[in-house]
Structure 1
Amino acid sequence: MSHTAHIRSHRKPRRSASRVTMRAGVAGGVLGTLAVAGTSASSANAAEPVTQTLELPTLTSDLAAQVAQSADATEQAAANYRLSAERDAAAANAAKQAKADLADAKKKAEARKKAETARKKAAEAARQAAADRASRTTERPTLSATSSVGSTSASVSTATGSAAAVVSFVKAQVGKAYVSGATGPSAFDCSGLVQTAFKQVGISLPRVSQDQSTAGTQVSLSNLQPGDILYWGGAGSAYHVGVYVGNGMFVGAQNPSTGVVERPLSYDPPSGAVRVL
């Protein structure tokens, strides 16, 4: 036995190997964890740009295609809407124009119908007047150059001055048409012819036969002079007028069938006469 076997050592006792090993292991584990974490973080940070570089172009291309498709669809829808709107507008305009054309056609048809009715009435009135004159011819003495009613001096008298101008004018209108309400130059009715003839010499006569039959001094049919106004019917209610042109003849716008004619007094004897010249 050593002589120092029972002497206590003054050195601190060594830590147990197991405890040191455990502590070293813990420390190493912590450092290893940190190292791994750091490495992972570094790897993640290093990989991220690679991921963006590889993935983003694909996502951006898909998105652009989707946006383009959506834009095309929107544009097509807008074009279809515009086309539909244009068609609707064209249809509305066509309907409006058709309605206006129909209304215009109806107006024209109505106007033609009224004109035709007026023409028929005028023709019927002229026919009736002619029939009335024909019936009165058998009831009144016939006027002629040798008739006891008409004087020889009146029949052979010659117009002068304003009367000659009136006579010349009415004779120049012989052969022109009879149109109710017309005052020339290509057509006349009876009072229109008389009014226009006297207008040539500056005399203004009333427009209608009734008023013209009282426009001057009443004269006897046996004392007629060229330029006298002849009337048929009563004074103030005459239905027809003409102009005496001398030599037992008169000129008048008779009716639509004969127009303006020169006839002997015996053709249609007048009821009376007035003198304005």
Structure 2
Amino acid sequence: MSHTAHIRSHRKPRRSASKIAMRAGVAGGVLGTLAVAGASASSANAAEPVTQTLELPTLTADLAAQVAQSADATQQAAANYQLQAERDAASVKAAKQAKSDLAEAKKKAEAEKKAAEAAARKAAAERASRTTQRTTLAVSTSGTGTGTSTSTSTGSSSSDTTVTSGSTATGSAAAVISFVKSQVGKAYVPGATGPSSYDCSGLVQTAFKQVGVSLPRVSQDQSTAGTQVSLSNLQPGDILYWGGAGSAYHVAVYVGDGMFVGAQNPSSGVVERPLSYDPPTGAVRVL
């Protein structure tokens, strides 16, 4: 007997085919189980996107809220712009309306002014028409009286205390009338006393200055400078006035034959007109 016969052999015993097959089946089963588990794990992993997809509604809802807020802000801004545009349009319309109203008011005022001027002209014409007959009669009477009173005036001129010249009334009157007629056509300038332009009282004062008669400068004073005479008894050389005695606003010189010479206004200057053109209020005699 060998000395190694009692030592157990380290060589593994042969396994039988049945055991190997059984172990192979077990191993296959285990592998199959692992495969199933792996497949299940793969399926689980594949399903994870589905789980993430389920979270999308929450993200989408937030985004929708933000979009809604942005839309509201945009709508509000658009409303503000529209409101501002409407206000601007209203301002422009109001400005146009104001301009139109102003133009209409000016037009109306101009029409009223023209109507007033026409009414004034009509009133003056009616007044002249009413006084024409009276004036004509006064002129006729004046002409007769002048012829009669001229000779008497000549004889009594030395006793007329209003005459400051040594000349007779007829001679002085003739000189005054000659002077004012020679000024016809010259300009009317307020405050002027000649020789190229006059105002009404400046012409009268300068005319009487030619015969040595010193008259006050203004119409108000000239209307009371001599003896008040009736318009029905005028003589050449009398001073005519318009307005009240002491408050007259215009004066001229009566030159006979129903005519007077006066510096009327800036548009007409010094003119010769009939009494019917603008009947005077009264008259004074200084010659």
> Under a length normalisation based on structure 2, what TM-score does the superposition of the two structures give?
0.47
> Under a length normalisation based on structure 1, what TM-score does the superposition of the two structures give?
0.49
